[in-house]
């Protein structure tokens, strides 16, 4: 019994001595030999463990980057949602710039603040006042046409009534100058409340739907040639010797955020028929240029995708490797066991005690 225990103890001592000696020998081996042994171990016994470690590293990286990615995705979604508004605003500002170029002088750009309370839904607050040269009864216009008229002027702001205001009136005419009348808001029920009426048109002057209505320049408040709207149809009234037409307005007030206030000098200087027709032409030209640029970009993207597909097909036929894949760390790692020291982080390959 004692002999067996002694022989077992000797065997244990021999084993631990051998292992310790081998380990010590390993520590003093030349680096290439140590590398070779370590490499052979990594390729065989340790390979599954190494793969496990790589997956864990990737999982940690993905987990750490999740919040950043989510934030980026949210930002992109928000930006994408705002793109429509930006495009609309771009169109409005482009129109305003174009109008300013055509008017050349005698106007003041202003921001239009919409009333939110009861009773001020037909009034605009403009961010320019008497200090900037705004006077009462000045015409307020937008690139699409007439909006209203300044009624009250403060030093730094002013109030303007919209064409929806019950007191709004404007002398108007058909675009060909054949018929004249007075434009006022249509005071009907809610869907029709956003329309205008052209009243007092002589019975002999029949207008067809689609006829453009402009300011006539009579009365001295609005210069001739500002678009008001388009005739929708005739309305039956009690007046026998004149006709009344429903007019679809050129400008819907809720869509307006920036306006031009025309000075009295500019109004008295003459007609503005050419101004709005030029604005319309410039606007359509700008839209055309933008659309062409979009088409070109789309075509370039399609051509690039087509080229990439052709290259992929060619590579598949010739059996060539994908250059993007050949540079990936996975491929590098999978091509040989000795690669990890070059492709992995130092602290991930070294066993930290």
Partner 1 sequence: MTPQRVLRAALIFVALVAMHYFVRPLMGWRVSMDFLVIAMLLVAVRVRPGVAAVVGFVLGLIGDSLAPESFGAGALAMCLVGFSASWLKAVFFSDNVFLHAIFFFAGKWAFDVIFVVAARRGGMYEMATQVVLWSPLAAALTAVTGVIVLLLFRGMLEAPST
Closer CB to partner 1, residue 27 or residue 104? Answer: 27
Considering the rule CB under 8 A, would residue 332 count as an interface residue with partner 1? Answer: no
Distance CA 253, CA 3 (A): 109
Considering the rule CB under 8 A, would residue 101 count as an interface residue with partner 1? Answer: no
Q: Is the Cβ–Cβ distance between 196 and 228 less than 8 Å?
A: yes
The three-point CA angle 183-185-186 to 5° equals 110
Distance between first and last Cα of the chain? 41
Closer CB to partner 1, residue 38 or residue 132? Answer: 38
Considering the rule CB under 8 A, would residue 353 count as an interface residue with partner 1? Answer: yes
Considering the rule CB under 8 A, would residue 2 count as an interface residue with partner 1? Answer: no
User: Judged by CB under 8 A, which stretch of 50-58, 167-175, 254-262, 297-305 contacts partner 1?
Assistant: 50-58
Considering the rule CB under 8 A, would residue 38 count as an interface residue with partner 1? Answer: yes
- What burial letters (b/e) apply to 229-267, b meaning 16+ CB within 10 Å? bbbeebbeeeeeeebbbbbbbbbebeebebbbbbbbebb
Burial group, residue 196, by CB count within 10 angstroms (0-12, 13-18, 19+):
buried
State the nearest-atom distance from the C-beta of 116 to partner 1, in Å. 54
User: Judged by CB under 8 A, which stretch of 32-40, 118-126, 202-210, 230-238 contacts partner 1?
Assistant: 32-40
Residue 348 is inside which H or E element, if any?
helix 346-349
Interacting residue with partner 1 among 6, 7, 41, 86 (CB under 8 A) = 41
Considering the rule CB under 8 A, would residue 319 count as an interface residue with partner 1? Answer: no
Distance CA 81, CA 253 (A): 24
Sign of CA dihedral 311, 316, 317, 319: positive
CA dihedral 69, 72, 76, 82 (to 10 degrees): 140
State the nearest-atom distance from the C-beta of 28 to partner 1, in Å. 8
User: Judged by CB under 8 A, which stretch of 77-85, 216-224, 237-245, 345-353 contacts partner 1?
Assistant: 345-353
Distance CA 127, CA 238 (A): 42
Considering the rule CB under 8 A, would residue 8 count as an interface residue with partner 1? Answer: yes
The three-point CA angle 245-162-244 to 5° equals 10
Sign of CA dihedral 341, 342, 346, 349: negative
User: Would you give the binding string for partner 1 spanning residues 59-98, x where CB under 8 A is met?
Assistant: xx--------------------------------------
Considering the rule CB under 8 A, would residue 350 count as an interface residue with partner 1? Answer: yes
Considering the rule CB under 8 A, would residue 193 count as an interface residue with partner 1? Answer: no
Considering the rule CB under 8 A, would residue 20 count as an interface residue with partner 1? Answer: yes
Interacting residue with partner 1 among 6, 7, 55, 274 (CB under 8 A) = 55
Distance CA 82, CA 74 (A): 12
Considering the rule CB under 8 A, would residue 352 count as an interface residue with partner 1? Answer: yes
Distance CA 58, CA 330 (A): 11
Closer CB to partner 1, residue 29 or residue 113? Answer: 29
State the nearest-atom distance from the C-beta of 66 to partner 1, in Å. 14
Q: What is the CA radius of gyration of the chain?
A: 40
Closer CB to partner 1, residue 133 or residue 337? Answer: 337
Closer CB to partner 1, residue 51 or residue 305? Answer: 51
User: Judged by CB under 8 A, which stretch of 37-45, 83-91, 102-110, 190-198 contacts partner 1?
Assistant: 37-45
- Please work out the total of residues on this chain that contact partner 1, with binding judged by CB under 8 A: 44
Residues lying near partner 1 in the complex (CB under 8 A) are found at 8, 11-16, 19-20, 22-29, 31, 34-35, 37-39, 41-42, 45-46, 49-50, 52-53, 55-57, 59-60, 340-341, 348-353
């Amino acid at each position: 019994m004692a002999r067996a225990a002694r022989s077992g103890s000797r065997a244990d001592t021999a084993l631990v001595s051998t292992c310790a000696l081998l380990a010590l020998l390993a520590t003093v081996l030349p680096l290439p030999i140590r590398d070779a042994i370590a490499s052979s171990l990594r390729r065989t016994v340790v390979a599954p463990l190494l793969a496990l470690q790589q997956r864990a590293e990737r999982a940690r990286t993905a987990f750490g980057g999740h919040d950043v990615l989510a934030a980026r995705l949210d930002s992109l979604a928000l930006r994408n949602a705002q793109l429509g508004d930006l495009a609309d605003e771009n169109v409005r500002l482009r129109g305003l710039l174009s109008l300013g170029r055509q008017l050349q002088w005698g106007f003041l750009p202003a921001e239009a603040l919409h009333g939110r309370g009861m009773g001020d839904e037909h009034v605009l607050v403009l961010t320019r006042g008497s200090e900037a040269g705004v006077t009462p009864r000045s015409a307020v216009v937008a690139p699409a046409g007439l909006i209203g008229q300044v009624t009250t002027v403060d030093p730094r702001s002013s109030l303007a009534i919209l064409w929806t205001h019950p007191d709004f009136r404007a002398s108007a005419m058909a675009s060909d100058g054949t018929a004249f009348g007075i434009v006022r808001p249509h005071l009907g029920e809610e869907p029709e409340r956003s329309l205008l009426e052209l009243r007092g048109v002589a019975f002999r002057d029949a207008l067809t739907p689609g006829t453009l209505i402009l300011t006539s320049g009579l009365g001295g408040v609005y210069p001739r040639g500002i678009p008001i709207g388009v005739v929708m149809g005739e309305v039956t009234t009690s007046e026998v010797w004149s006709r009344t037409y429903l007019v679809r307005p050129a400008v819907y007030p809720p869509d307006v955020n920036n306006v031009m206030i025309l000075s009295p000098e500019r109004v008295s200087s003459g007609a503005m028929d050419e101004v709005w027709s030029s604005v319309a032409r410039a606007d359509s030209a700008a839209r055309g240029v933008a659309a062409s640029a979009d088409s070109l970009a789309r075509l370039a993207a399609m051509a690039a995708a087509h080229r990439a597909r052709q290259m992929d097909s060619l590579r598949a036929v010739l059996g060539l490797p994908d250059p993007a894949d050949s540079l990936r760390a996975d491929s590098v790692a999978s091509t040989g066991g000795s690669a990890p020291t070059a492709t992995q982080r130092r602290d991930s390959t070294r066993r930290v005690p």
